[in-house]
Amino acid sequence: MSTHEFEKSSSYDFNHEGHKSFRCSAIEISESSLIEYTKASASFNDSAIEISKSTLIQHTEGDKGKSTIDKEELYHPNVPADLIPKKGETVSTVDEGIEMYRTYGKAAGFGIRLGSTTTYGDYSLRKKHERKSYSKVTGCMAMIGFDRNYKTNTITVYAFEEAHNHPLTEFNEESLCSHNHRLSISDQELIFKASTLNIGATKAHKIRASLKGGYDHLPATKNDFKNFWRDYTNIVGPNDAQCVVDQLIIRRDNYPNFHFEYKLNDEELSAMFWVDETGKENYSKFSDVISMDATYRTNRYNMIFVPFTAINNHEKTINVGAGLISDETIESYSWLLKDFLSAHKKKPTMILTDMDPALTSSISKELQGCTHRLCMWHIMSKMPSKIDPNVVSNSDFKKRINQLVWSMNIEPSEFECQWDMMLDEFDLRENKWLDDMFNKRHKWIPSYFRDIPMCGLMKTTSRSESSNSFFNVFSSATNLLVNFMFKFDTALSKQRHEQKRLDIASRDTSPQLLFAPDPLKIEKHASLVYTREAFLKVQKQIKKAFYQCFQKTSIIVNGFQECTIVYKEVKSGKRPEFKVSFNAHEQTIDCACLHFQFFGILCSHAFRVLIDYNIFEIPQKYILDRWKKNILDVAFQKVNHRWQVCNTNISNLLRDAFSYYEKCIDTVVHDKETLQELVNALQELSVNCGKNVASKPSSNPIKEVVENVIGLHIADDIKIKVPSGIKTKGSGKRNRIKSAAEKAIAKSL
């Protein structure tokens, strides 16, 4: 007889959990009963095997180490009559019977536990096992037995023992009983969603307890939360790289303009790059200057996270692509840059990076024609370790070198002259590091980028590092790749939500003008076309034009009004002069300070001339698209895909269910009578809900639970392995930082 046939023709017995021991006995069919069944199988007819009550009790009372019922110490549950199982009562499925007895047990103050399934030859049975424990069950004989009729396929209660040999759990003790330690779907989702914010299982348990009104209202323990996260890690871990690649391929195949490529090395994931439609749209508008900065500690394999960062029309950093690479080699960076170009179809005007020689070589090879600039902050931060401390601490030297290095208003020839003077004055002519930095001056000194549009927009990778730090808030060196991708999505969602918020604020609000209610017309015009953040910068220049600039001379040369504008510096009292050339007919204006060339916004000297000649609107050619309102469709400013790809309909319905529940609460929270009506309706719904739903197993395999919570299918066939043995440059040892007390103790030993 097959296992399937055996399970259709068998008896099921449920014992209860003793109050003192907090353990449950299992669903059991005794081995002796199985032997009897095996012997009788040849003459078995369509009626089910019946294990008599006396046979069951005899077997249970004979268990080693368990007490028998003491007739003088019996406890009878006080529960509503409609919850008490009755002999002869039928249920549709075994699981329905389990749930019926569990509901009765909860009302009575005890719990049940299902035993493990064991196979003997062609037969399968559920059997009780002894387990190592700090306590033993009380040997209580309270039980229920079910009998399946093979012919009618009905399940009947054939045995029920109501009396217990121990006190039952009080209502306020329920949360302490192990049979109530069950994670709900809300608990599981909270554990996982909290992890996307770098909140661990222990803190998630505290949060859940707080939301539930205290630990007494939270059946699951801290260990239940931790065990779920452990199970999740154990299940996802071996499939990590495969899972990530599979899901990004699904995104590529199902979402418009989603780009994804990956690279393997001996079946191990070694590199990947991805960017979605919104990232592509952002790059198409803001590709004038981008930065890339490699970091690590975002995943347990030490794969290096490389975000590509641009600056949007609100002067905020935005992501225009991301990569993970296994090492910092020319080959890896070249592959990444090639795929970046494959996704975006055009090179940036300028790219900013650190001084990594492998990255520098890759850029010169893959981004020919793109201006490569080194991060000034990285270079200047090395200065204290490269120069005599006495010189570095000299305030005159610090002032001189900062003015020289960071200034955008000096010509290259003037920079070189002042650099030589500084070396001689502070006796630094023999310093090899300064000599090396001077030889690389065309890669990092602003004077050498004066002819590059928007070169002042980004002078350090702090923009990229800020973006990287932003992503690092949501990442950890212990992450699985799956976790990292969830956290990346969370960070990206937050970034794009902020961009949409700023878009709406710029569209729907008006900034305060300098001379309201009778503002300058040119300022009013600026407030209508620029985003709020860009307008504030324009307004600052207009304010300087009005209060700190005046026109000294003006002559006409070849149809151009050549003006000399004097700028009054407030702090120093200096009055530098700037030449401004203006043609009213052609609506062109140029200033020698090159402010517009650097930042894409007219300078105070130009605004002074426009105001003097009654120009009421900024000429269109000086309003760059990258600073305008509504340059991007609001629909693009979202993560139009979530990492979950399976069970999306169920996920959406769950979200809607919680949303409607919260809406109901918000509506009636201030009306006690209506709130009570809602509670009553929910109670009735909880009783009737699911009565017509097909019965499902009372406990799902943990893999299925994990898949449902994270919305990912975890493949059994692993073709792409996780990276192994990766170590980044400068990663060093990852030792825990010791406290002062630990150091003192170690020193004394």
Q: Which residue has the tokens 């305030």?
A: 395
SS3 call for 5: helix
Two structure tokens written together for 677? 């009506």
Show the CA angle centred on residue 245, arms to residues 241 and 246, nearest 5°: 115
Alpha-carbon gap, residue 233 to 235, rounded angstroms: 5
pLDDT in tens, 250-271: 999 988 899 999 999 999 999 9
Phi and psi torsions of 372, nearest 5°: -105, 125
Q: Which residues contact 109 (CB under 8 A, 6 or more apart)?
A: 19, 77, 168, 169, 170, 171, 174
pLDDT of residue 163: 82
Two structure tokens written together for 519? 């503002």
pLDDT of residue 138: 62
Kindly tell me if the per-residue pLDDT of 68 is higher than 70: no
Q: How far is CA 52 from CA 92, 197, 302, 414, 515, in A?
A: 22, 56, 63, 105, 97
Contact 721, 653 (CB under 8 A): no
DSSP state of 643: S
Q: Which candidate, 105, 176, 147, places its Cα nearest to that of 9? A: 147
Alpha-carbon gap, residue 49 to 9, rounded angstroms: 7
Give me the mean pLDDT over the 177-204 stretch: 80
- Between 313 and 66, residue with greater pLDDT: 313
Kindly tell me if the per-residue pLDDT of 118 is higher than 90: no
- What percentage of the chain has pLDDT greater than the value 70? 75
pLDDT of residue 162: 84
pLDDT in tens, 353-374: 988 999 999 999 999 999 999 9
Alpha-carbon gap, residue 288 to 463, rounded angstroms: 14
pLDDT of residue 51: 32
Kindly tell me if the per-residue pLDDT of 13 is higher than 90: no
One-letter amino acid for residue 79 of the chain: V
- pLDDT confidence of 219, banded at 50, 70, 90? confident
- pLDDT confidence of 115, banded at 50, 70, 90? very low
Task: Please state the separation of Cα 232 from the chain's center in Å.
Answer: 16
DSSP 435-468: HHHHHTGGGT-GGGGTTSTTTTS-SSTHHHHHHH
Give me the mean pLDDT over the 400-421 stretch: 92
Kindly tell me if the per-residue pLDDT of 749 is higher than 70: no
Q: Indicate the helix (H) or strand (E) that contains 371.
A: strand 371-374
- Between 649 and 304, residue with greater pLDDT: 304
Show the CA angle centred on residue 136, arms to residues 134 and 139, nearest 5°: 175
pLDDT of residue 634: 66
Least confident of 48-52, 224-228, 393-397: 48-52
Q: Where are the beta strands (DSSP E) in 584-687?
A: 588-591
Q: How far is CA 169 from CA 19, 83, 85, in A?
A: 6, 17, 19
Show the CA angle centred on residue 294, arms to residues 455 and 380, nearest 5°: 55
Least confident of 330-334, 506-510, 649-653: 649-653
Task: Please state the separation of Cα 191 from the chain's center in Å.
Answer: 13
- pLDDT confidence of 649, banded at 50, 70, 90? low
Task: Tell me how crowded residue 125 is: count the other CB atoms within 10 A of its CB.
Answer: 22
Kindly tell me if the per-residue pLDDT of 584 is higher than 70: yes
- pLDDT confidence of 177, banded at 50, 70, 90? low
pLDDT of residue 692: 64
Kindly tell me if the per-residue pLDDT of 730 is higher than 60: no
For helices 395-406 and 412-425, what crossing angle results, to 10°?
160
- What percentage of the chain has pLDDT greater than the value 90? 43
Kindly tell me if the per-residue pLDDT of 7 is higher than 90: no
pLDDT of residue 47: 27
Q: Where are the beta strands (DSSP E) in 53-140?
A: 90-91, 116-120, 123-127
pLDDT of residue 470: 60
- Between 88 and 128, residue with greater pLDDT: 88
Two structure tokens written together for 643? 């990492």
pLDDT of residue 113: 59
Range picked from 10-14, 141-145, 301-305 for highest mean pLDDT = 301-305
pLDDT of residue 72: 52
- Between 537 and 571, residue with greater pLDDT: 537
Q: Which residue has the tokens 């992501």?
A: 319
What is the Rg, in whole angstroms, of the alpha carbon atoms belonging to the chain? 37
Is omega for the bond preceding 80 within 30 degrees of 0, making it cis? no
Residues paired with 23 in a beta bridge: 18
Least confident of 180-194, 221-235, 277-291: 180-194
Give me the mean pLDDT over the 220-247 stretch: 90
pLDDT of residue 743: 45
Domain residue extents for the chain: 3-176, 182-238, 239-375+460-509+626-645+712-732, 376-457, 530-622, 648-684+700-710
Q: Which residues contact 178 (CB under 8 A, 6 or more apart)?
A: 17, 22, 23, 24, 111
- pLDDT confidence of 148, banded at 50, 70, 90? confident
pLDDT in tens, 473-500: 556 777 889 988 888 888 898 889 999 9
Q: Which candidate, 386, 359, 383, places its Cα nearest to that of 373? A: 359
- pLDDT confidence of 114, banded at 50, 70, 90? low
- Between 49 and 642, residue with greater pLDDT: 642
Q: Which residues contact 746 (CB under 8 A, 6 or more apart)?
A: 738
pLDDT of residue 121: 45
Least confident of 162-166, 278-282, 675-679: 162-166
